[in-house]
Amino acid sequence: MSRLTAPEQAARGWEDILHQHRTRNNLPAQARASQIQSLTRFAVVLAIFVALSGPAMADQQERPFSFQLPKNDSAAAESLAS
């Protein structure tokens, strides 16, 4: 048996890692179908939430901020400032 060079050993190591990854992520068809069904349900619920919350968000209009003082208060404020 011949010894592997460093690049060949590295390639062999990657092949082993990829093989382990493929075998771990190889879900049975029923499990994949269950995952797809769950994701579909989540997407539908999310779409309904977005559709219903859109008009609610549009009803909240931003009010411009204004700070107004009565005239007698502004005169008092000017006298305090001087």
Hey, which bits of the chain come out as E strands? Answer: none
Residue 6 exposure: Cα atoms within 13 Å on the Cβ side? 0
Q: Given a cut of 90, is residue 20 above it in pLDDT?
A: no
CA distance 66 to 78: 19
pTM of this structure = 0.40
CA distance 52 to 58: 11
pLDDT one-digit tens code per residue, 23-68: 666 667 778 888 889 999 999 999 999 888 877 666 666 666 666 6
According to the model, what pLDDT value does residue 58 have? Answer: 63
CA distance 4 to 10: 9
CA distance 14 to 63: 61
